Structure formats: C-alpha cells, structure tokens
Amino acid sequence: MPIPTDHSKLVRKSAKESAFSQLLQWIIDGTLRPGEKLNDKELAEALGVSRTPIRESLQLLEAQGFVEMYPGKSTQVTRVEEESMKDILPPLAALQALAAELAVPHLTDEATLLLELTNEQLAEAVRSKNYFGALKIDEEFHQIIVDTANNPYLLKMIPSLQSHVRRLFFHSSLVLTEKTIEEHAAIIKHLKDRDATGAAASMRKNWLRSIEEFRSLKSL
C-alpha cells in the first residue's frame, strides 16, 4: 500500500483528529484509491502514531461512508458511486442555502473581506487550471459562510456531505469554472445587502448547477 512520506507528523495531543483529517484527505484526492485495502499498522507508522487513533479514525470514516470495515478480514476504501451526485447535492445545497440565510445577521466586515479574498484566490486557481486546489479553496469559501451562520448543527452536518462531493468532483473530472466565481460574487453581494432570501437562492443555485454539469459530462 503506497503511502506518501511528504507530510507533517501528527501531534500526539490530537492524534485521532489529525489522523482522521489526513486519511480523509488521501481518500478524497485518490491517494488511497477506491477499493484499496488499508493496513492500520502501515498507516500508524506512516503518520507517526499508535494504531489506536488510526483504528478510531477508520471507525469514523466508516460511519461517514468513506471506508468499509470487515471485522477479522479487512478494511478498504469505499468505491466512488458517481451517480450518487444527484442524491448528495440536493441536501447539501439546502443546508448551504440555510447557512447563507443564517449568516446574514452575523456578517462582519472581516468575514466579507475574507469571502472576497477567497473568491479571488479561487479565480487564480481556476485560471491557472489548478483544479484540485480550486476545489479546496471553494470549500474554504463555503466554510466561511457556515462558520458565520454560527449554527452548531450545520457545523456538524455539512462537512461530511461536502467531503463526499469533493471526492466525487475529483473522481468524475468535474472542474470549477468562471461560472462558480460569478456565483460566489453574487452570494457575497446578497450577503452584503443583507438579503437573506437572495443569498440562500444564489447558494442553492451554485450547488445544484453541478448536477446538470455532471449529466452533461457523462453524455459526451
């Protein structure tokens, strides 16, 4: 099982959280391939931790649908079901739209500036064809809004769905375009105008458009 070595070792204080984040990242970007069997001993050695936080992380990943565990046999990365895009995006779009609506009364100048700067970074990544980097920046953009909404349930529910979407984007060759940048700008404008309804509608449109793009890609 090839495991990258060019990563920072985990801090023991937060070994489980750090291990979970790293393993999830490797699953999303395909470093750990769909269907690949995982060896907790190898992963522990690679990340510089004991096997306990690795096992705990794998249990969390199984609960979120990223690995399958067969007691006494093996643990492996789940397959990518591209058709699940149409099932995952609508609930994520609804939650993200709600986050945009709830963010309006909590919006600060600092958050607005951060959104604008992040969208500029996204534009640079898209125009330089750094598509995977663009996906990560896009996630950062939306996370700013979720954080601003300040709703603990959204903070817990959205990340898992969003990780599945990012994985689907990567494996289905979907890329972010100038259209995404424009939609983000519209979301920012609605937020600045304190237009909760408009912000929610623009956010929902931003996410659901990906379903049509996916269908178009598969029909080529």
Query: What is the rounded distance in angstroms from the CA atom of residue 16 to the CA atom of residue 177?
Result: 35
What is the residue whose two structure tokens read 């809004």?
A: 145
For residue 202, give the nearest of 212, 215, 188, 216 by alpha carbon.
188
pLDDT digits (tens, 9 = 90+) for 66-88: 999 988 788 999 998 878 888 88
Residues 101 and 153 in one domain: yes
End-to-end CA gap in the chain? 34
3-state secondary structure 94-144: HHHHHHHHHHHHHCCHHHHHHHHHHHHHHHHHHHCCCHHHHHHHHHHHHHH
Residue 56 lies in a domain: yes
Return the pLDDT at 92: 94
140 plus 164 within the same structural domain = yes
User: Do 125 and 53 share a domain, yes or no?
Assistant: no
Residues 87 and 156 in one domain: yes
Domain around 53: 12-77
Domain for residue 1, yes or no? no
> Within a domain: residue 152?
yes
**Which pLDDT value is given to residue 78?**
94
Same domain, 72 and 87: no
Residue 47: which CATH number?
A: 1.10.10.10
Alpha helices, H only, 30-69: 40-47, 51-63
Residue 175's pLDDT is 81
Does residue 7 lie in a domain region?
Answer: no
Of 77, 96, 120, the residue at which a domain comes to its end is 77
Q: How far apart are CA 148 and CA 196, in angstroms?
A: 13
In a domain, 105, yes or no: yes
Q: Note whether 99 and 185 are same-domain residues.
A: yes
Same domain, 67 and 136: no
| Residue 134 within any structural domain of the chain | yes
The reported pLDDT for the residue numbered 13 is 52
**Single residue among 77, 93, 128 that ends a domain in this structure:** 77
Query: Domain check: are 173 and 146 in the same one?
Result: yes
Tell me what pLDDT residue 11 has. Answer: 43
pLDDT on residue 220: 47
What's the rounded Cα separation, in Å, for the pair 151 and 199?
17
Helix axis angle, 85-103 relative to 196-219, nearest 10°? 160
Q: Is residue 3 part of a domain?
A: no
Total domains in the fold of the chain: 2
Verify that 110 and 52 share a domain, yes or no: no
Query: Is residue 2 one of the residues assigned to a domain?
Result: no
Q: Do 48 and 155 sit in the same domain of this protein?
A: no
Using 50 as the pLDDT threshold, list the residues of the chain that sit under it. 10-12, 220
Distance (Å, rounded) from C-alpha 74 to C-alpha 54?
Answer: 14
CATH of the domain at 202: 1.20.120.530
Asked whether residue 164 falls in the same domain as residue 177, the answer is: yes
Last residue of a domain, one of 53, 77, 101: 77
For residues 100 and 58, state if they share a domain: no
